[in-house]
Structure 1
Amino acid sequence: MSADDLEDFESEAELLLYREYRDVVGLFRYVVETERRFYLANEVSLTPHRSGGDVFFELTLEDAWVWDVYRHARFIKRVRVLTFKDVNIEELPANPDLSLPPDGPGGPFGG
């Protein structure tokens, strides 16, 4: 497989993932972003923990979808995430009037 073939494969996988995101975003209440992943979820619990001088966060998501191009099963019943960086949680509108472009590279991160 050449470098061009690999780049084409990755671009196509990202586009398919973006289309899936566009199709499912209206099913969820929250958008959750950690330093490693992007999630959609219907229930979110965030618990800060202190260990010595360090702080970490325990994040529990119920009925979630994960933005991960290499993961085959992106729908998750319950997931527990530990992170040492900030967590961004946004509540989506009850009836989202999202005007997402029909297709677009970069997904929710715009990259």
Structure 2
Amino acid sequence: MSAEDLEKYETEMELQLYREYRDIVRQFSYVVETERRFYLANQVDLHVRNSDGEVYFEVEMHDAWVWDMYRPARFVKNVRVMTFKDVNVEELEKPDISLPDDAGFGG
């Protein structure tokens, strides 16, 4: 496999991953970003830990999806991540109602 073939494969995998993300993001309540991964989850518990003067973060997620194109199963029941870098947790806004683009209303 040439370098060009590998790059094309990775580009196609990233596009496929983005499409999957776009299709499922509304099923989740939180976005979690760590130094190594990006997650969607419905429950997140963030704990700041201190051990021998070193501060680290422990993130527990339940009912999650992992942004990783090399992972065969991206949906996971429980995830526990420990990191020394910052963790970003955002709650997703959930609209009360969502109509399909082709709802058949109006002209």
User: TM class by shorter-chain length?
Assistant: 0.7 to 0.9
Structure 1 residue 52 displacement after superposition: 1.5
Partners of 1:26 and 1:96 within 8 A in 2: no
- Corresponding residue number in structure 2 for 1:29: 29
- Long gaps (5+) in structure 1: 98-111
The runs of 5 or more residues in structure 2 that have no matched partner are 98-107
Larger Rg: 2
* Post-superposition offset of 1:96: 8.3
TM-score (norm 2): 0.87
| 1:89-109 Cα deviation digits (max 9, x unpaired) | 000012289xxxxxxxxxxxx
Match of 2:92 in 1: 92
Number of aligned positions between the proteins: 97
Aligned identity (percent) is: 65
TM-superposition CA deviations, 1:50-91 (whole Å, max 9, x none): 012210111000000000010010000001000111100000
Q: Using structure 1 for the length normalisation, give the TM-score.
A: 0.84
Root-mean-square deviation (Å): 1.3
Indicate how the Cα distance of structure 1 residues 83 and 50 shifts in structure 2: closer, same or farther if over 3 A, else same: same
Moved over 3 A (4+): none
Displacement after TM superposition at 1:10 (Å): 0.3
Match of 1:52 in 2: 52
